[in-house]
Amino acid sequence: MGEVAARHAEPSGGRSSRTNLPDRAWAVSLTVFGAAVLVVAGVIVGALWFVAAPAVKTLGLWNFVGSRQWDVTRDLYGALPFIYGTLVTSAVALIIALPVSVGLAVFLTEMAPARLRVVVSFPISLLAGIPSVVYGLWGLFVLVPLLRKPIEPWLARTHFPLFSGAPIGLGYLAAGVILAIMILPTITTISIEVLRTVPGSLREAALALGATRWEAIRIAVLPYSRAGIVGATILGLGRALGETMAVTMVIGNSPTISASLFAPGYSLPAVIANEFAEASGSLQTGALAALGLILFAVTLLLNVIARLLVRVSQKGPARVAA
Amino acid sequence: MKIEVRGLDAYFRSTHALRSVSLGVPANTVLAIIGPSGCGKSTFVRCINRMHELVPGARQTGQIFVDGKDLHARGVDPVDLRRRVGMVFQRPNPFPTMSIYDNVVAGLRLNGIGGDHAELVEKSLRQAALWDEVKDRLHTSALSLSGGQQQRLCIARALAIGPEVMLMDEPASALDPIATAKIEELIRELRQQLTIVIVTHNMQQAARVSDHTAFFYMGELIEHGETEQIFTNPREPRTEDYVTGKFG
Ligand SMILES: Nc1ncnc2c1ncn2[C@@H]1O[C@H](COP(=O)(O)OP(=O)(O)OP(=O)(O)O)[C@@H](O)[C@H]1O
Ligand SMILES: [Mg+2]
């Protein structure tokens, strides 16, 4: 429909937008669709709010958000362990996945022969389609035992406070690693596409100044792709924050807060999925709905922060275009 | 001879872009390369700083010597070579994420020369006839410049690393007459210190700035000699047809 409108619009070359009906129709319908998306988001938030508000009121907003106690039998509902678990596992996932993905994308686009890029990037993009429950099973049967036996005891020897306590395998670290593996294909695949848009003339400019291959990547290729790679990271982060199944299978599902990554924890989506069906009473249902709102807010907030980071650090094409 | 080319053949996959080209460029002279579009001028200059071999599927045979040293001899590092043999590309390619200032010093930073380069930046931009237009906005994005300004920025960037040889692929194609005159003046001035190979479609420009001229046609070097002779008394009829504007 857009093409039709554009084709109509061009030859007529209407200077005044009033007479250009297809263009106007197109603009109006886009605006309507855009508004519809916002309305749907608003309705979701509104519905959650409707369920959550009485519970939050009873519990007290700060008491709810700031408390680390979640005990259904004693009617104690604190959101902090889940917020903490979601943030920590997503952070672990990003710390692992971002350098690996970007490194892989750079290697495949800048260094590897074209044939290798095809051979490697196709299976990577397939990984993105594996259902998360399969990742969870793999985590339970392969990753968790591996963490329990050689990896966690070995990390513990660094005496780093993040790596302390009993190496039980299930916990923040396991969830973070699973999430890293799940978001790696997303970030890698998009980063490859982004890197492929870098004009060859920029690489040549750097090389002709006496840059090595790596220096050309550093001064010409990566700065040009930064906004796109951040976008890829936001998408990956979004998936990590909202991932439910794989996380709940390996995080240990314990509503506690621990400094050590070895310890079991819980996450926002995991607790909602696990407890909602058997929620007893409107207070618990309301508290779970409120957790959903918090997840929504956290996701939104991190998106905004990431976008602001790009905006602030951006000197390149995006800013000129804006 | 600063640059000596012997039996150079260059290919892009199945395209035979240069056919057994041989010529020499004495130190501190300017060689102009002329010829119709697609005859291999850019390919020729890109062989001299080993940029040609970076194109996927590109090959070359024959030898090129700079200061008597074979570019493909063992132990010749193309990265070092490109620091000595600077290049201005046919299409302007400033770094879009960098400021004007950072573009000019990009080569120095690569060579690990840190510190304040304000003087050198001014000198390079003055040489490239750009200083007056940008002196008040050195720290804005290079993309805020017009196409012709970007081309001059690229000239300044190449000059700033102080090369011994400068390859210029149609450096004035996007410039107005005033800026063109300044660049031609720069070329005559630079000849005191370095050796220049310039590709141009402008016969008058070739006649004004160069000591020698080489005429390429369909990948072959048809004629090469003193500029005066090429333009007034060419040996080859095809050269005469081209410089008098009968084809091309
Ligand atoms: N990247 C490439 N891949 C394949 N063929 C190429 C490539 N670059 C150039 N060629 C071919 O090599 C030949 C020589 O091209 P070259 O760019 O050297 O011409 P030129 O003399 O610089 O032309 P112009 O005056 O238009 O810049 C042409 O036939 C061209 O089609
Ligand atoms: Mg060319």
**A13-46, pLDDT tens digit by residue?**
445 555 688 888 999 999 999 999 999 999 999 9
Of A201, A212, A320, the CB nearest to B79: A212
CA distance B61 to B194: 27
Please tell me the predicted confidence (pLDDT) of residue A314: 56
Contact A209 B158 (CB under 8 A): yes
Q: In terms of pLDDT, which residue wins out, B151 or A280?
A: B151
Please tell me the predicted confidence (pLDDT) of residue B139: 94
Neighbours of ion ligand 2 (CB under 5 A): B 42, 90
Q: Does any ligand 1 atom lie closer than 6 A to the CB of residue B12? A: yes
Please tell me the predicted confidence (pLDDT) of residue B145: 94
Q: How confident is the model at residue A164 (pLDDT cuts 50, 70, 90)?
A: confident
Judge whether residue A315 has pLDDT over 60: no
Region B38-51 average pLDDT: 96
- Interface test with chain B among A204, A209, A212, A313, by most B beta carbons within 10 Å: A209
Identify the closest residue of chain A to B96 by CA–CA distance: A316
Q: Does any ligand 1 atom lie closer than 6 A to the CB of residue B95? A: no
Helix, strand or coil for residue A258? coil
Contact B97 A223 (CB under 8 A): yes
- Residue with the smallest CA separation from ligand 1 atom 19 is B38
- B118-127 helix and B147-160 helix, angle to the nearest 10 degrees: 120
- In contact, B221 and B44? CB cutoff 8 Å: no
Region B89-101 average pLDDT: 94
Contact A224 B97 (CB under 8 A): yes
Contact A215 B87 (CB under 8 A): no
- In contact, A90 and A179? CB cutoff 8 Å: yes
Tokens of residue B227, six digits: 């500029």
| Min distance A282 CA to chain B CA atoms (Å) | 55
Please tell me the predicted confidence (pLDDT) of residue B248: 58
What is the tally of helices (H) and strands (E) in chain A?
16, 2
Q: How far is the CA of B169 from the centre of ligand 2 (A)?
A: 7
Q: Does any ligand 1 atom lie closer than 6 A to the CB of residue B38? A: yes
Task: Return mean pLDDT, chain B.
Answer: 94
**pLDDT, tens only, A216-256:** 999 999 999 988 898 899 889 999 999 999 999 999 999 99
- Weakest mean pLDDT among A11-25, A231-245, A301-315, B118-132: A11-25
Of A212, A218, A216, the C-alpha closest to A201 is A216
Q: Which atom of ligand 1 is the closest one to the Cα of B201?
A: 25
Q: Does any ligand 1 atom lie closer than 6 A to the CB of residue B15? A: yes
Q: Which residues, 6+ apart, have CB-to-CB distance to B174 below 8 Å?
A: B92, B147, B148, B151
- In contact, B130 and B156? CB cutoff 8 Å: yes
Determine how β-strand B58-66 pairs with β-strand B3-12: antiparallel
**pLDDT, tens only, A132-142:** 999 999 999 99
Tokens of residue B23, six digits: 């010529």
Judge whether residue A7 has pLDDT over 80: no
Q: Does any ligand 1 atom lie closer than 6 A to the CB of residue B42? A: yes
Region B124-137 average pLDDT: 94
Q: What whole-number percentage of chain B has pLDDT above 90?
A: 89
Burial of residue B91 (CB within 10 Å: 0-12, 13-18, 19+) is: middle
- Residue with the smallest CA separation from ligand 1 atom 31 is B38
Please tell me the predicted confidence (pLDDT) of residue A310: 72
Q: In terms of pLDDT, which residue wins out, A121 or A2?
A: A121
* Residue A140 CA, distance from chain mean position: 22
CA distance A151 to A153: 6
| Min distance A68 CA to chain B CA atoms (Å) | 45
Please tell me the predicted confidence (pLDDT) of residue A10: 44
Judge whether residue B158 has pLDDT over 60: yes
Tokens of residue B140, six digits: 């804005």
Q: How confident is the model at residue B164 (pLDDT cuts 50, 70, 90)?
A: very high
Contact A210 B54 (CB under 8 A): no
Region B46-54 average pLDDT: 95
Judge whether residue B63 has pLDDT over 60: yes
Rg (CA), chain B: 18
Judge whether residue A189 has pLDDT over 50: yes
Q: How confident is the model at residue A320 (pLDDT cuts 50, 70, 90)?
A: very low
Region B113-132 average pLDDT: 90
Tokens of residue A240, six digits: 């990590």
Contact B110 A220 (CB under 8 A): no
Q: Which residues of A touch B76 (CB under 8 A)?
A: none
Burial of residue B21 (CB within 10 Å: 0-12, 13-18, 19+) is: buried
Q: Does any ligand 1 atom lie closer than 6 A to the CB of residue B46? A: no
pTM for this prediction: 0.83
Positive or negative, the CA dihedral B58, B63, B69, B73 is positive
Q: How far is the CA of B44 from the centre of ligand 2 (A)?
A: 9
The closest ligand to the CA of B38 turns out to be 1
Q: What angle do CA A290, A295, A299 make, to 5 degrees?
A: 150
Chain B residues interacting with chain A (CB cutoff of 8 angstroms): 49, 51, 54, 56, 79-80, 82-83, 86-87, 89, 91, 93-99, 106-107, 109-111, 141, 143-144, 154, 157-158, 161
Task: Return mean pLDDT, chain A.
Answer: 88
Please tell me the predicted confidence (pLDDT) of residue B102: 94
Q: Which atom of ligand 1 is the closest one to the Cα of B39?
A: 21
Q: How far is the CA of A29 from the centre of ligand 2 (A)?
A: 47
Q: In terms of pLDDT, which residue wins out, A54 or A4?
A: A54
Region A55-80 average pLDDT: 91
Domain ranges for chain A: 2-59, 63-321
Please tell me the predicted confidence (pLDDT) of residue B221: 97
| Min distance B86 CA to chain A CA atoms (Å) | 7
Judge whether residue B46 has pLDDT over 60: yes
Q: Does any ligand 1 atom lie closer than 6 A to the CB of residue B91? A: no
Q: What is the DSSP string of chain B?
A: --EEEEEEEEEETTEEEEEEEEEEE-TT-EEEEE-STTSSHHHHHHHHTT-GGGSTTEEEEEEEEETTEETTSTT--HHHHHHHEEEE-SS----TTSBHHHHHHHHHHHTT--S--HHHHHHHHHHTT-HHHHTT-TTSBGGGS-HHHHHHHHHHHHHHT--SEEEEESTTTT--HHHHHHHHHHHHHHTTT-EEEEE-S-HHHHHHH-SEEEEEETTEEEEEEEHHHHHHS-SSHHHHHHHTTS--
Identify the closest residue of chain B to A214 by CA–CA distance: B110
CATH code: domain A63-321 is: 1.10.3720.10
Region A189-205 average pLDDT: 93
